[in-house]
Amino acid sequence: MTQTVLVTGATGFVAGWSIAELLRRGYTVRATVRGQSNDARVRAAVARAVEPGDRLSLVKADLLDDDGWDAAVAGCDYVLHVASPLIATKDEPAVIRPAVDGVVRVLRAARDGGVQRVVFTSTCGSIYYGHPPQAEPFDESSWTNVQAGGMSAYVKSKALAERAAWDFIKAEGGALELTTVNPSGIFGPALSLDVSSSLTLIKRLLIGGLPACPDLWFGVVDVRDVVDLHLRAMTAPSAGGERFIATSGPAVSMLDIAATLRERLGDEAKNVPTRKLPDWVVRVIGRFNTNIGDLVPLLGQRRDATSAKAQRELGWTPRSWQDAVTATAESLLQLGVASR
């Protein structure tokens, strides 16, 4: 009998690839959207990877509203809770409330609907912020200290949302199982013109939108590998109640990424910068641009995380970061998002 999986936030980058891979592996997929007008948009994106056919259905449900969630989870064996607000803003409640309230809302509906396991897409941002620098990479035993500052509203929302998820399972989860996947920066092929923030970074490098590279460091993981880890965490008996970091290796700099694009894409990367942008320039721009302002506390900060647990316990093997960022750039060029 075909199993059914609910994927939340169907218009998102990770959600789109999750839907495609679930369909490819023979699952029936139900996915949530905030408005039915997104139906064609989702199907078109998924169709770039696999023909959605009649095993994909979309239902309306919002993270800030109870309506629709009972119907969304009805008859589902698993839930991939991928939806989360990703905006640059100084209004923390605008991001934190839907993230925290939303995950609890999804978990409650899943518990009441008899779902076996929810896999929640968290982030490395809920693991390694608010701590002094350390030589060893952070692992799943670490938790971000949200009181320490130096993080965006988005990072704080993800850390608080994951805490809320585990607290709910402990207090009210009943038979429902929870697993979290904690990715670093997610790159890889775009499925639509509506690109995520990490893909926008590659787009800006390609079109010459950055005169030089800010001194930023982050882990990289391919979206296809993130989805593969979600599905392994969904079905592995031992994965219930566990956290799994998804990253391809140590953090890399924007200069590293820029150099790889120039090396692999040749003339198509002719606008990619070759120099590092002085920190003071980023700080000045950040006073007037919230997107840039969110990056200021991260300048020069290198945080490494290890995916050894996912590789050891779930047999997960990620692509190299070079392949992930190259695939991102190639897809943007093919879609015409970044001019050739």
Residue 163 lies in a domain: yes
The predicted pLDDT at position 147 comes to 87
Neighbours of 91 (CB within 10 A): 10
Collapsing DSSP to helix, strand or coil, 65 comes out as: coil
Residue 290 lies in a domain: yes
**Can you say whether residue 302 is alpha, beta or left, with left for phi > 0 and alpha for psi between -120 and 50 degrees?**
beta
Q: Spell out, as residue ranges, where the chain has pLDDT lower than 70.
A: 1, 36-37, 85-90, 288-294, 296, 300, 338-340
Residue 92 lies in a domain: yes
**Residues annotated as part of the active site:** 158
- Please say whether the beta carbons of 261 and 54 come within 8 A: no
Tell me, what CATH number does 158's domain have?
3.40.50.720
Beta strands of the chain (E only): which ranges? Answer: 4-7, 28-33, 56-60, 78-81, 117-121, 177-183, 185-187, 217-218, 220-222, 243-246, 252-253
Residue 232 lies in a domain: yes
Residue 302 lies in a domain: yes
* Amino acid letter, residue 258: A
Q: Model pTM?
A: 0.93
Which one-letter DSSP state was computed for residue 305?
B
The predicted pLDDT at position 206 comes to 93
Residue 340 lies in a domain: no
Please write the tens of the pLDDT for every residue from 57-92. 999 999 989 999 999 999 999 999 998 765 555 677
The predicted pLDDT at position 1 comes to 66
* Amino acid letter, residue 309: K
- Please say whether the beta carbons of 21 and 227 come within 8 A: yes
Residue 291's domain comprises 4-335
DSSP-assigned states of every residue in 43-58: HHHHHTTS--GGGEEE
What is the rounded distance in angstroms from the CA atom of residue 309 to the CA atom of residue 303? 18
Residue 328 lies in a domain: yes
Residue 317, both tokens:
């093997």
Residue 331 lies in a domain: yes
Provide the domain count of the chain: 1
The predicted pLDDT at position 340 comes to 46
Nearest to 82 by CA among 10, 143, 167: 10
